[in-house]
Amino acid sequence: MTLNTPVWARHNHNAHDSDSDDENYDGYNANRGYWAYTCELLERWFCRFFQRSKPKTRSNNVSATLLVILALSFLSHSAHSFDGALQFHSHEGRKMAFRYTPAKSPARANLICVHPVGIGISSWFFNRLNLPAFNVITPDLRGCGDSEAFIPEESGMFFPLDWTRQIESLCDELPNSSLPNIVLAQGGIAPVALQLNHRGKLKNIEKVILTSPPTYKTLTEAISTEEYGFNYRALTFPGLTTLFTRVLMNRGAIKFFSNLFLFAGDADEEFLNEASRDAEIVHRINPVFAFNAGALQTRSWIEEISCRDKLIIISGEKESEKRISGRREYGGENIIVKSGLNVIPWEQAAALESIINKSI
């Protein structure tokens, strides 16, 4: 482990899930990398996430940088559109936002929705789900949406344990805690759902539904803390944060990359409006950089994935066969949604509603 490795990686690498390990930690202001390192790193990401060939010459550095940053972190919004009214609760002295939409009839279960991590992305991502038989709980994870910002220079953070504990704390405060729970997580935030189930502090979890999660190999083969530290320092190169976020706010860029990587068809206007609305992103990019640097990949999640009887893995029909087949190793129930790609809760909400209704 290098001296410059952010503090969050150290604890994730050692697979700490217990609350006793995360007291009295401080923020870590990592030493910064160089532009050349950033270009090299982002080229690697481009190959890894989109199964493309590595650029043949170094002259492609700038284009590779913009492509990957835009593709991985383009989503931008402040949570103001979920049906449930915006509410706040306190977790460890921090102000956390959430939306709670009670069932319109006697509730069958609680549905806890864990949004993906992107620039400003929050509970709006699940805005299209209509599940009147469920109490729908949608928190804004710390550093995202209307929850308190994460500022590394002021306080530390364990990824993903602090997000997991935030959700546990919220669910303890809400009514209907005796009902069965279903946890739904989108994309790379899957470890939060798996950790919620594994820790056992959120009782009665009947199903863990993962839409477009990383492949089994990605979640079971950890990256080194050195690699994570390198990634993080490259992404937080002085001055580049402001440049990246300004570029990401461009609606044309959001539309281009949404159509290219997220939607089976074209991104609709509602999605684009939501994704490009919020311009107050100074601190909300911090968890995005940590996430994209690999904060959730510094340990193996093989033990948490062992809950195969509870798992439902959902893939879009238009995803690559490599990704779909790479998820079959999870076990559990594997479902392919027709005409879907990487944003099933938005693009194919009705299909996801049907799966959730049949799951319990």
- pLDDT score recorded for residue 238: 79
- pLDDT score recorded for residue 119: 66
- pLDDT score recorded for residue 276: 76
Residue 173 and residue 168: Cα distance in Å, rounded? 9
- pLDDT score recorded for residue 329: 95
What secondary structure, in 3-state letters, does the chain show?
A: CCCCCCHHHHHHHCCCCCHHHCCCCCCCCCCCCCHHHHHHHHHHHHHHHHCCCCCCCHHHHHHHHHHHHHHHHCCECCCCCCCCCEEEEEECCEEEEEEEECCCCCCCEEEEEECCCCCCCCHHHHCCCCCCCEEEEEECCCCCCCCCCCCCCCCCCCCCHHHHHHHHHHHHHCCCCCCCEEEEEEHHHHHHHHHHHHHCCCCCEEEEEEECCCCHHHHHCCCCHHHHHHHHHHHCCCCHHHHHHHHHCCHHHHHHHHHHHHCCCCCCHHHHHHHECCCCCCCCHHHHHHHHHCHHHCCCCCCHHHCCCCEEEEEECCCCHHHHHHHHHHCCEEEEECCCCCCHHHHCHHHHHHHHHHCC
- pLDDT score recorded for residue 20: 47
- pLDDT score recorded for residue 32: 38
- pLDDT score recorded for residue 30: 39
> Which CATH code, of 3.40.50.300, 3.30.950.10, 3.40.50.1820, 1.20.1270.10, is assigned to 1-360?
3.40.50.1820
List the chain pLDDT tens, one digit each, 360 residues. 332 334 443 344 334 565 544 433 333 333 334 444 444 554 444 444 344 444 434 344 444 444 444 444 443 333 333 457 889 999 999 999 999 999 998 999 999 999 999 766 788 899 899 999 999 999 999 999 889 988 887 888 899 999 999 999 999 999 888 899 999 999 999 999 999 999 999 999 999 999 999 999 999 999 999 999 999 988 888 777 677 767 766 778 778 888 888 899 898 998 888 877 754 555 677 888 899 999 999 999 999 999 999 999 999 999 999 999 999 999 999 999 998 999 999 999 999 999 999 998
- pLDDT score recorded for residue 255: 84
Residue 197 and residue 193: Cα distance in Å, rounded? 6
Q: What is the pTM of this model?
A: 0.79
Cβ within 8 Å of residue 307, ≥6 positions away: 194, 197, 198, 208
